[in-house]
Amino acid sequence: MSQQLRDLLEQTFNNDSTEYQQRGFQRRVGYGSRPAIVHIDMANAWTRPGHAFSCENMETILPACQSLNTAARSKGVPVIYTTTAYEVTDPSKPSDMGLWVNKIPVETLAAGSDEVRIDDRIAPESDDLVITKKRASGFAGTNLAQILTAARVDTIILTGVTAAGCVRHTAEDGIAEGFRPIVVRESVGDRVQGVVDWNLFDIDAKFGDVEPLDSVVNYLERLPKFADTTTP
């Protein structure tokens, strides 16, 4: 991001923070006691260059996700991934793409293809879950809320792409479903300059807490080992 754009955004955020706080916004939802990591669309179409969905800053995002996974797994914290994929990618036929194909090139996200496979640099382990979604939010049309509730999760630590789309909508739906959204600043990306900063600012004002990686890792490391959720 250019320094000119960075300075403009910083000035805007400072002014808007004052306005929000005067109106009672930017409160803190805080950390709960039973988190889960939810990586949003960290699949090859988004994390590798040369695809219509490719996002920037993966050299920062991927190591941040790796650090979160290491801290989470050491405590038995669930690690969940989403990807977006479609069974029928011919827009001339009845398709699970719906009308979204009229706006963005979701026809390039064929189920079973390498494009929709989670990036092997943060590959899921045997106990991790991978959820395939059709819409922006990780909750929309999936069993994510059921999975989290059954595991007694109260906090969702969100990473991934994009800040303006799937991460944002997952945070919005997450707080609506009764989970505390914590968005990790260094682990969120997008395609266009300024979009990440603006959406993180707005998410932090309305839907969840945007926290630095060090804070989130420290929180995970202080947790007791997760108890077996099958025990009443």
Give per-residue pLDDT as tens, 139-188: 999 999 999 999 999 999 999 999 999 999 999 999 999 999 999 999 99
Is 229's pLDDT higher than 60?
no
What's the residue count for the chain?
232
- Residues 31-84+115-222, CATH architecture: 3-Layer(aba) Sandwich (3.40)
Could you give the count of Cα atoms lying within 13 Å of 38 in the half-sphere of its Cβ?
A: 31
Cα separation, 35 vs 30, whole angstroms: 11
166 is catalytic: yes
pLDDT for res 2: 73
pLDDT higher for 218 or 17? 218
Q: Which one is catalytic: 55, 85, 161, 166?
A: 166
Decide: 181 and 137 in contact? Cβ < 8 Å: no
pLDDT for res 66: 98
pLDDT in tens, 85-129: 999 999 999 999 999 999 999 999 999 999 999 999 999 999 999
Q: And the tokens for 218? A: 């420290």
* Neighbour tally for 191: CB within 10 Å: 17
Domain ranges in the chain are 31-84+115-222
CA dist 88 to 42, 91, 101, 109, 133, Å? 22, 8, 11, 10, 14
Beta bridge partners of 180: 155
Is 9's pLDDT higher than 70?
no
Cα separation, 9 vs 6, whole angstroms: 5
In the predicted model, what is the mean pLDDT of residues 22-48?
95
Cα separation, 41 vs 166, whole angstroms: 8
Grade residue 232 by pLDDT with cuts at 50, 70 and 90.
Answer: very low
